[in-house]
Amino acid sequence: MQFTHDWLPQRVRFASGGAAEAVAEEVRRLGAARVMAIAAEATRAEPVLTGVPVAVLHTDVVMHVPLEVAERARAVAADHDADALVCVGGGSTTGLAKAVALNTGLPIVAVPTTYAGSEATDVWGLTDDGRKTTGVDRVVLPRAVVYDASLMLGLPVPTSVASGLNALAHCVDSMWGPRTDPIDQSLALEGIRALRTGLPGVVEDPMELAGREQTLYGAYLSALAFASAGSGLHHKICHVLGGMFNLPHAETHAVVLPYVLALNAPAVPVLDQRMAEAFAADSALAGLLALRDETGAPRSLRDLGLSEDDVPKAVQPILDASPESNPTPVTAESIAALLRAAWEGKEPG
């Protein structure tokens, strides 16, 4: 056994019901006095910011972080002489904070309100002219993350399910990502187990904390694994679709994941069996499909707004982005068939 695993330097706090106190303490640890707060919904963020010296609350948040939106936010940070960032929200909010940090070096305290996982990675993404570009830079990694499952209680069930399956996609991609190692895979497997347990609880009782906590725990583990293992085929597909056609991020991941799993799992039977055990199923795909059925997850790209004419346009950009390490060789024919099946919502397998 030979591998090198690099842990990301980050403080992580699970503080159900205690986000405001925890965030204020993390800001004090940074010595910040003029914080730029970023949130799509001011009313949801304000209770979390009660002990924070907020110089400006910025709410211009857009999915996939368009470059012009990032540039406006960077200008706001400069105009208010911000010395730290606090982002309260989902992946788009965290992504915007990262875009500001990328140019300014400002430290981030992240408070997630979905299961997106961006807060635990050093990956940034920007969209310009229909193309989503991603990169890796330690400067965008939040210095601290405060997880408060009580902030998720108002998250609608369909959004929770899609966001949770987005987290599950991090787990699956981490099993065969370009830099994966046994530690990444162990984190991913525990993430699968937690998400498989937590998401049905969220659906059954959205206002019950235990399901939310288990899902949030799984989402963090999934992001931790993904940050180390790197982006696999699934994420390359979803980034292309999101950037080119402005599809909703989490829902796109939820739809595409079973098709990528059906493509890759037969090539890695040992990993398939390990994932199956985490799903408590006969195979990883059977476990994922059962979870999809149990939670009422979205089924087709057509339902998300992708037109039939757009399907072939995505094939070559996906091929160009596909990692060489994918367990199953990727061809134009296999990607076209995968996209077509996902567009129709055809049964994967």
pLDDT tens per residue, range 216-227: 999 999 999 999
The mean pLDDT value for 40-55 works out to 95
pLDDT at 50: 96
pLDDT tens figures, 185-204: 999 999 999 999 999 999 99
Q: Please, which pLDDT band fits residue 130 given cuts at 50, 70 and 90?
A: confident
Mean pLDDT score of the chain, rounded to an integer?
95
pLDDT at 74: 98
Q: Please, which pLDDT band fits residue 174 given cuts at 50, 70 and 90?
A: very high
Alpha carbons 339 and 335: distance in angstroms, whole number = 6
Q: Where in the chain is the domain with CATH 3.40.50.1970?
A: 11-152
**8-state DSSP, 15:** -
**8-state DSSP, 17:** T
Do residues 120 and 10 lie in contact, with contact meaning Cβ atoms separated by under 8 Å? yes
Over 90: is that where the pLDDT of 7 sits?
A: no
pLDDT at 294: 97
Alpha carbons 271 and 248: distance in angstroms, whole number = 29
Q: Where in the chain is the domain with CATH 1.20.1090.10?
A: 157-344
Alpha carbons 293 and 95: distance in angstroms, whole number = 30
Structure tokens at 28: 């004090």
Q: What CATH number labels 157-344? A: 1.20.1090.10
**Residue located via tokens 């800001």:** 27
Element of type H or E holding 131: strand 131-136
pLDDT at 6: 83
Alpha carbons 107 and 101: distance in angstroms, whole number = 7
For residue 96, the SS3 value is: helix
pLDDT at 303: 96
Fold of 11-152: Rossmann fold (3.40.50)
Alpha carbons 257 and 234: distance in angstroms, whole number = 7
pLDDT at 1: 84
- More confident of the two residues 148 and 133: 148
pTM: 0.91
Over 90: is that where the pLDDT of 157 sits?
A: yes
Do residues 83 and 35 lie in contact, with contact meaning Cβ atoms separated by under 8 Å? yes
**8-state DSSP, 143:** S
For residue 7, the SS3 value is: coil
The mean pLDDT value for 19-26 works out to 98
Over 90: is that where the pLDDT of 344 sits?
A: yes
For residue 86, the SS3 value is: strand
